[in-house]
Amino acid sequence: MPNVQIAILTDTVQSGQVYETTYGKSAPIREFHAGNTSLLVCSQGLADPRATIQALKDQGMTHLWLCESVGALSPLLEPGDWLIPDDFIDGTRGQHYTYFSEKAGGFVQQVPPFDPASREALFNGAKSISPRPFQRGVYVCVSNTRLETSAEAAFWGRAGGHVVGRFLSPCLTLARELEIQVAVLTLIVRSGGQAGKSPEFERYAQVVEMASAHLLG
C-alpha cells in the first residue's frame, strides 16, 4: 500500500514538536519508531483539535489510529482484553466538531465509521499478544474532562455500548473530513463507572508495530 503514513492519538500526555496552523497551535507531536515504521504520536491535550488534526494532515498522515485505555460496559470484557470497535456513539458536546463551520452544507458520511483495512491490521496486531482480542464492539465517547459515572456507564451499556472512552471525538471525525483513514485500538483497564490507570503509550507498541507491518503489506 503506497504512501501510507500512520499517526497515533493516545490518552497519555506526549511531548514533541508543536505546529502552527490556521486553527492555532497543535498539540505536541513526536516521532515514534515501531519496528521499521516511523509514526507520529500525539494526545488530544488542550489544543484546538482542528489544529492538531490539520498539523497531522500537513505532515502527510494518511491514517490516524486511536490507542486508548477504556472502561468495559459489557460483562464479557475484562481488564487486559483488547477490542477493535466497528462503531461508536458520540456522547460529547460543546467541541469543535467540523472544519465546515464556515461553509454551508458540508459534512462527511460516517458509514462505515472506521477504515476496514486499519481495523483488520489492528486485530492482527492484537492477536499477536492476546489470546482473546475482540474484533467488533461499540465505543462510547464521553467528555474528556472526566470519567463517566456509574449511572452513565449503566445508561450507555443499555444504549448498546461495549466500551467507554474519552478521546475519539472530535479528533477522528475531524480526520475523516480531511480524508484521513481512522480506526481505534482499545485496552480494557477498568469497569465502566470505576477509576483506572492508563498505561504509557509503549504498552501499545507491539500491537501497533504488527498492525502497521500488516497494513503496509
Q: Cell numbers at residue 45, please? A: 491535550
Q: 166: which residues sit within 8 A by CB, 6+ positions away? A: 11, 68, 141, 142, 143, 144, 147
How many distinct helices (H) and strands (E) make up the chain?
A: 5, 11
The answer, yes or no, to whether residue 213 has pLDDT greater than 70, is yes
**Pick from 67, 32, 1: nearest CA to 214:** 1
Q: Cell numbers at residue 113, please? A: 465509521
What is the structure's pLDDT at 103? 57
- Poorest-confidence range of 99-108, 176-185, 205-214? 99-108
Residue 3's pLDDT band (cuts 50, 70, 90) = confident
- The Cα 135–Cα 154 span in angstroms is 23
In percent, the amount of the chain with pLDDT more than 70 equals: 95
The CATH H-level (homologous superfamily) assignment of domain 6-216 is Nucleoside phosphorylase domain (3.40.50.1580)
Residue 118 identity: S
- Measured from the Cβ of residue 36, the count of other Cβ atoms closer than 10 Å reads 9
What is the structure's pLDDT at 35? 81
Average pLDDT, the chain: 92
The answer, yes or no, to whether residue 104 has pLDDT greater than 70, is no
The model's pTM is 0.93
Q: 133: which residues sit within 8 A by CB, 6+ positions away? A: 81, 82, 83, 84, 123, 126, 127
Q: Cell numbers at residue 81, please? A: 482484553
- The Cα 94–Cα 180 span in angstroms is 23
The answer, yes or no, to whether residue 98 has pLDDT greater than 70, is yes
> What value does the mean pLDDT take over residues 74-89?
96
SS3 86: coil
> What value does the mean pLDDT take over residues 28-47?
92
What is the structure's pLDDT at 93? 87
- The answer to whether 82 and 134 have CB atoms below 8 angstroms apart is yes
Pairing verdict, β 20-21 and 24-25:
antiparallel
Q: 81: which residues sit within 8 A by CB, 6+ positions away? A: 72, 130, 132, 133, 134, 187, 188
Residue 83's pLDDT band (cuts 50, 70, 90) = very high
- Residues 129-155 pLDDT 10s: 998 899 999 999 999 888 999 999 999
The answer, yes or no, to whether residue 124 has pLDDT greater than 60, is yes
